[in-house]
Amino acid sequence: MSTVTTVIDGKAAAASVIEAVTSAATTLESSGHRKPGLAVVIVGDDPASHAYVGAKSRMAKQCGFNSIQHTLPEETSQEDLMALVAALNADPDIDGILVQLPLPKHLDSEPVIQSILPEKDVDGLHILNAGKLATGDLKTGLISCTPAGAMILVRQIHGKDLSGLNALVIGRSNLFGKPMAQLLLNANATVTIGHSRSRDLPELARQADILVAAVGRAEMVKADWLKPGATVIDVGINRVAAPEKGEGKFKLVGDVAFAECKPIAKAISPVPGGVGPMTIAMLMANTVIAAHRRAGVAAPSF
Amino acid sequence: MSTVTTVIDGKAAAASVIEAVTSAATTLESSGHRKPGLAVVIVGDDPASHAYVGAKSRMAKQCGFNSIQHTLPEETSQEDLMALVAALNADPDIDGILVQLPLPKHLDSEPVIQSILPEKDVDGLHILNAGKLATGDLKTGLISCTPAGAMILVRQIHGKDLSGLNALVIGRSNLFGKPMAQLLLNANATVTIGHSRSRDLPELARQADILVAAVGRAEMVKADWLKPGATVIDVGINRVAAPEKGEGKFKLVGDVAFAECKPIAKAISPVPGGVGPMTIAMLMANTVIAAHRRAGVAAPSF
C-alpha cells in the first residue's frame, strides 16, 4: 500500500476512556451520590493474577472509585466464596464485582460468576448479560470488557456504522469471539466467525475488511492472509522465546505477524499496546455505568 | 448437478419429532408423573393468530399433553395479561407457556415475554435462554423453535458435526437468524451472518455449503447465488399473487426461487412443507423437555 498504515494506539484510546470514566465518576459524586464501588475478589497466590488484580485496583482508585480488594486463601471453599459474592451482591456501596479468573482448581468458577447480580457483573460474564448482547440490547446490560474495548478501536477507524464491511472474527470463545461477533453484527457488519474447525482461514481472512484475531497462536495471521487495506485487530497475547534479548528471555507477541502485516493493512493494533490496555479501561467503564444505573442517573456510553 | 437433489421433507421430519415427543410424554406419565402441561395465551381476534393457536393446541393434545388455551379479549390490559402469565408461572401443572405474537398494538410484548419463567419459556424467547444458547449451553435452556427445527433438517443432510463447512445465514432477527447462527457455530460450522446491510449477498452465498435464508423476500435467492451442491434451508414464508390459480388468488413461496435452485443444490427445503412444520414440532419438543426437567427426570433430546 502506498498510504501510511495507522498503528492503533490502544494506550491512548484507553487513556481517553479512563478520562471519561473519571470525569463521570466525579460528576456523579459531586451531584450528591457516593463514589462508584468496585469489589475485586482474588483467591490464592498466583502471581500473574495478583499482578492483574493490583493493576485493576490501582486503576479504580485513579478513576476516583471506592476500590475494595478481597484476598482469599488458596484453600477457600466454594461455599465461602459464594457467601462473599452474596454479601457483595447485598452491599449497597458496591456497584461492580469482579472475581479474578482462573480460580484454584478445586473451585468451580461458573456457579460463582452466575451468582453475581447481573447489574454488578462488570466483567459481562453473566448469562443474562450475554443474552442481552445476543439479542441486540446494548443499553441495559454490561458487555464483556475485551470485545467492548476492541469495538472502540474498530470505531476509531470505521465509525459507528459498519454497513457493507465484511468482518472476520477468528476464535469463538464466550469471553471474546462470540460477543465480538455480536457487537460487529450490531454495528451492521457482515460477520463471519472462523475457528479451529474452519476449512480455510487464510481464504476467509482475505475477504475481510476487518480482521479480528483471538486464537492464542503466536503470529498465526500472515501478510498473505490480508486483504490489502484491511483493519487488523489483534487480541492474542502470546509469550514466546526472545533469544535476541538474552538466554531464557521472553517477549509478548500477538496472533498477527505484525511486521509483515503492517505494510498491507490500513490500520493494525499492536501487541502489546493495542487491545490489552482497553480491557481494564472497559472494566472501569462498566463500573461507572453500573454506578450510574444504581443511582438512577443516566449512564455515560463509551 | 448429475446427482439427484434431495427435497427435504419437513412434514416427515416433524412427524418423527412428534412421534418421539408423544412417546416421551407417554413414558413420563406411565412412570407416575402428570401429563406435560402447555398453556397457550392469545389476545384479540386476529384470524391468523387464532389459526396458529388452534393448530398448536390440537398438536399438544395429539402429543398427549394437557393443553389449556386462554383466550383474552382484544381490550385486555397489560396488567391483566402480566397477571395471567404470573398465575401460569406459579401453576404447578403448567410446564410451558406460549403467548401468541403479535399482541394487539396497545400491549407491549417484551415485558410479557420476559416475565415468563425461563424454564417455562417454550418459545425460547427469554433473555436467559438466549444467553445460554449464545454461550453454547444447549443442555439446560430452551431453544427458539424455528432455528431448532431448521437445525434438525441440516443434521439430516450433514450429520451433527459441520466442521469444515461454510454456512451463511441471511437475516439477523432475534427470533431466527441470530439463534440459527449460534446453533450452526455450535455444530462447528464456519458461520457468516448476512443481512440487508451486506455488500454482496450473492457472492457470500456462492461460498456457502449451507445456505439458510430468512429475510421475508419472495424468491430472493436465485440459482446463480448457489454453490453447486449446497444445502439450502428456506425459512421464508411469503404470500404472493397466483393469477394462474384464478383472479385474486395467492400462494405461499419461500425466500428461495425453488424451481431454479433445486437443480443446483444437493438438498433443498421446500415452502410450504420444509421448515414450517418443524416449528410447531419443536414447540412440542420444548414442552416435553420442560416437563421432564420439572419432574426431575432426564429430558429427551431432539
pLDDT score for A3: 72
| Cell numbers placing A126 | 453473566
Burial (CB < 10 A; 0-12, 13-18, 19+), residue A78, is middle
Q: Which residue of A has its CA nearest to B131?
A: A131
Say if A165 is an interface residue toward chain B (CB within 8 Å): yes
Which 3 state secondary structure label does DSSP give B192? strand
pLDDT score for B1: 47
What would the mean pLDDT of B215-222 be, rounded to a whole number? 97
- Chain B partners of A190 at a C-beta cutoff of 8 Å? 192-195, 197-199, 204
Mutate to test the interface with A, among B125, B126, B191 (most CBs of A within 10 A): B191
| pLDDT band at B178; cut points 50, 70, 90 | very high
ipTM score here?
0.95
Say if A197 is an interface residue toward chain B (CB within 8 Å): yes
Which 3 state secondary structure label does DSSP give A108? coil
Residue A42: which residues within 8 A CB-CB, separation 6 or more? A49, A50, A53, A69, A70, A71, A72, A100
Burial (CB < 10 A; 0-12, 13-18, 19+), residue A132, is buried
pLDDT score for B40: 97
Choice among B100, B121, B132, B209 that is catalytic? B100
* Nearest partner of B302 among B281, B275, B274, judged by Cα: B281
B227 labelled catalytic = no
Residue A275: which residues within 8 A CB-CB, separation 6 or more? A10, A146, A149, A150, A153, A233, A234, A235, A269
Q: Where are the beta strands (DSSP E) in A149-237?
A: 166-170, 190-194, 210-213, 231-234
User: Letter for the amino acid at A277?
Assistant: P
Q: Which residue of B has its CA nearest to A162?
A: B197
Residue whose grid cell is 458435526: B161
| Cell numbers placing B40 | 397457550
Q: Where are the beta strands (DSSP E) in B50-134?
A: 66-72, 96-99
Please say whether the beta carbons of A82 and A112 come within 8 A.
yes
End-to-end CA distance of chain A: 32
Query: What positions of A carry a catalytic annotation?
Result: 56, 100, 123
Provide the β-strand partners of residue A234. Answer: A213
Residue B184 phi, psi (nearest 5):
-65, -40
Residue whose grid cell is 400462494: B251
pLDDT score for A52: 94
| pLDDT band at B231; cut points 50, 70, 90 | very high
CB contact under 8 A, A190 and B182: no
What would the mean pLDDT of B130-145 be, rounded to a whole number? 97
CA dihedral A125, A126, A127, A128 (to 10 degrees): -130
Mutate to test the interface with A, among B113, B133, B193, B207 (most CBs of A within 10 A): B193
CB proximity under 8 Å: A 168-187 to B: 172, 174, 178, 181-182, 185
Please say whether the beta carbons of B193 and A185 come within 8 A.
yes
Q: Buried (b) or exposed (e) across B286-298, using 16+ Cβ within 10 A?
A: bbbbbbbebbeee
Which helix H or strand E contains A43, and what residues bound it?
A: strand A37-43
What distance lies between CA B101 and its chain's CA centroid?
Answer: 14
Q: Is a pLDDT exceeding 90 seen at residue B227?
A: yes
According to the annotation, is A18 in a ligand binding site?
no
User: Letter for the amino acid at A41?
Assistant: V
Q: Is a pLDDT exceeding 70 seen at residue B79?
A: yes
- Mean of all residue pLDDT scores within chain B: 97
Choice among B35, B56, B227, B262 that is catalytic? B56
* A50-59 pLDDT, tens digit each: 999 999 999 9
Please say whether the beta carbons of B55 and B283 come within 8 A.
no
User: Letter for the amino acid at B140?
Assistant: T
Which 3 state secondary structure label does DSSP give B178? helix
Say if B132 is an interface residue toward chain A (CB within 8 Å): yes
pLDDT score for A1: 47
pLDDT score for A111: 97
| Cell numbers placing A70 | 478481597
| Cell numbers placing A192 | 463471519
Q: Is a pLDDT exceeding 60 seen at residue B2?
A: no
Q: For chain A, which residues score pLDDT lower than 50?
A: 1-2
* B44-70 pLDDT, tens digit each: 999 999 999 999 999 999 999 999 999
Domains and their CATH numbers in chain A: 32-118 (3.40.50.10860), 144-278 (3.40.50.720)
Residues in chain B: 302
Rounded-to-integer distance, Cα B248 and Cα A143, Å: 51
| pLDDT band at B3; cut points 50, 70, 90 | confident
pLDDT score for B232: 98
Rounded-to-integer distance, Cα B235 and Cα B254, Å: 7
Q: Which residue of B has its CA nearest to A200?
A: B164
According to the annotation, is A237 in a ligand binding site?
yes
